[in-house]
Amino acid sequence: MFFENIAEVEAYSKVQNKVDFSTIQVMMQEPEYIWKGFIRDLAFIVNNAMSAFDENHKVHKAAIKLEERIRVLLSNLPIMKERYQKIRDGESEKEIEREEELQKEVIIETVPEVILGKDEAADFNDEEAEEDNHDDDDEV
C-alpha cells in the first residue's frame, strides 16, 4: 500500500507537512539536505500516516513499525533522537533552533569557568567586557 503521489491521497488532505518518501528521495540529491532535514522529514512521514489514517489501517500500523525502527537507529544519536521527538511532539524547527542557540550560549558562558575556575573566569569575563567597551570607544 504505497502511494505514488501523497497529494492524491484523500486522507492526507488534513496533514500540515506533506512529506513522503519521494520527497526525501528528491531532497537527497541536494547537498544541503543533511541530518536535520532528513530527521524532520522522517518525523513528518510518521506523523502524517498516524494522523491521516485510523489506527487499524495498515498505513498507520506501518508508521508505528517505521517509528520503532527509526528509534532503534537513532538510539546511538541522542541529539537527533531528541530533535526527532521534538518534531513529533509538534515543536517547530525555529523553536528547536532557538533552544539550540540558547544551549550554545550557556556553554560559551560556562567554558571559561570550567577551564579557569570560578574566580579566574570572573576576572576573564571582566577583562573581556572592558576590551569590548574600549572597542566601542574606538568606533565612535
pTM for this structure?
0.53
Separate counts of helices (H) and strands (E) for the chain: 6, 0
Give me Rg for the CA atoms of the chain: 22
Report the Cα–Cα distance between both ends of the chain, in Å, rounded: 68
Q: Which residue, among 19, 46, 40, has the nearest Cα to 83 in the 3D structure?
A: 40
Regarding predicted confidence, which is higher, 83 or 9? 83
**pLDDT for residue 8 is more than 70:** no
**Per-residue three-class SS string for 61-117:** HHHHHHHHHHHHHHCCCHHHHHHHHHHHCCCCHHHHHHHHHHHHHHHHHHHHHHHHC
Whether 17 contacts 44, CB under 8 Å: yes
pLDDT above 70 as % of the chain: 67
- Per-residue pLDDT of 22-73, as tens digits, reads 888 888 888 888 878 888 888 988 988 888 888 998 889 999 999 998 888 7
- Per-residue pLDDT of 74-112, as tens digits, reads 776 777 778 888 989 999 989 988 988 887 776 666 655
